[in-house]
Amino acid sequence: MLNYSLKRLASAIPTLFLLITFAFFLIRIAPGGPFDGERALPPDIEANLAAKYHLDEPLPMQYLRYLWQIVRLDFGPSFHYLDWTVNDLIAQGAPVSFTLGGLALLLALAIGIPIGAWAALRQNRPGDYAVMSIAMVGISIPNFVVAPLLILLFAISLGWLPAGGWEFSPSRMVLPVITLALPMIAYIARITRGSMIEVLRSSFIRTARAKGLPEKEILFNHALKPALLPVISYLGPAAAGILTGSVVVERIFTIPGIGSYFVQGALNRDYTLVMGVVILYGILIILFNYLVDLIYAWLDPRIRYDDQEAGA
């Protein structure tokens, strides 16, 4: 197990390095620079700014300088938000995005899995069709439609909840968390249903039934665990995505998370900020894929990562 973990960790480093390299050069290809604006800067000031941020050096030199910074976990100053470093911005935005994304994830799991399992038990009956149709609608309606609808209903017409803005208070989290969770609930419900149907047909369930185990035990102990495997594979990348924030939800609810930095950073040519969020996202993806593999082993007794070692 330890051996496997170390191997995974070792393979993460070249992956991250490639990611950093690609991202670094790709964003520099975009025309225009961070200090271009509608008002032209006097040439000497522009030269000074370029020197201050080392933009006057050859690109390979800047790249090496950046790598050296990253090694020391210094993401550099933001080129757009002049009073803050990228570390500051991520430190302020990440807790917000993590809280929202984490809650949305929990909500999605808590609702999606039971719904999916329930539908699987009623396969091809009216209940199943009803739940799966609603799930399909949930997947198809984009969150930039759902979010304004929720605001109109709960904030403006009913006045129960704030229309947006952020602080760590439940009333401000309800609408964005629901908006983020809705499509995930639908996905998880559909995946759970599909795999649950498959598992229920398999021979070990038949055996369990033949043994005369109570239906409850069959469902919870024998069927649900393996049925969750596809959900877990979906959750790896989905969790990384949802924890790094959603551009749309942040914009509509004015939430200061890090999701908008992907877009704003790119539009502002804020090179360091874009790099910062890309690296964070990359690390999360690698981390969650690793966690998914571990959970697999726990859920499915047939998967063991130290087999080779044991066999050797």
Q: Any residues with CB less than 8 A from the CB of 168 and at least 6 apart, and which?
A: 99
Name the H helices within 122-169: 126-140, 143-150
Pick 143 or 195: Cβ nearer other proteins:
143
As a whole number of angstroms, the distance between CA 111 and CA 13 comes to 36
CB 152, min distance to other proteins, A: 5
Token couple for 119: 């539908």
CB 116, min distance to other proteins, A: 17
Token couple for 165: 């803005």
Pick 14 or 43: Cβ nearer other proteins:
43
Find the angle CA(139)-CA(144)-CA(149) to the nearest 5 degrees.
95
Name the H helices within 78-168: 86-121, 126-140, 143-150
As a whole number of angstroms, the distance between CA 87 and CA 277 comes to 10
The 10 Å Cβ neighbour count of residue 125 is 10
CB 93, min distance to other proteins, A: 7
DSSP string, 193-240: HHHHHHHHHSHHHHHHHHHT--HHHIIIIIIHHHHTHHHHHHHHHHHH
CB 213, min distance to other proteins, A: 35
| Burial of 252: CB neighbours in 10 Å, binned 0-12, 13-18, 19+ | buried
CB 39, min distance to other proteins, A: 7
Pick 6 or 51: Cβ nearer other proteins:
51
Pick 64 or 152: Cβ nearer other proteins:
152
Contact assessment for residue 164 and residue 251, using Cβ atoms and an 8 Å cutoff? no
Pick 168 or 216: Cβ nearer other proteins:
168
CB 119, min distance to other proteins, A: 16
Helix, strand and coil in the chain, % to nearest 5: 75, 0, 25
CB 130, min distance to other proteins, A: 12
Angle, helices 259-267 vs 271-299, to 10°: value is 150
CB 113, min distance to other proteins, A: 18
Pick 111 or 121: Cβ nearer other proteins:
111
Name residue 77's beta-bridge partners.
85
Pick 179 or 195: Cβ nearer other proteins:
179
Pick 141 or 294: Cβ nearer other proteins:
141
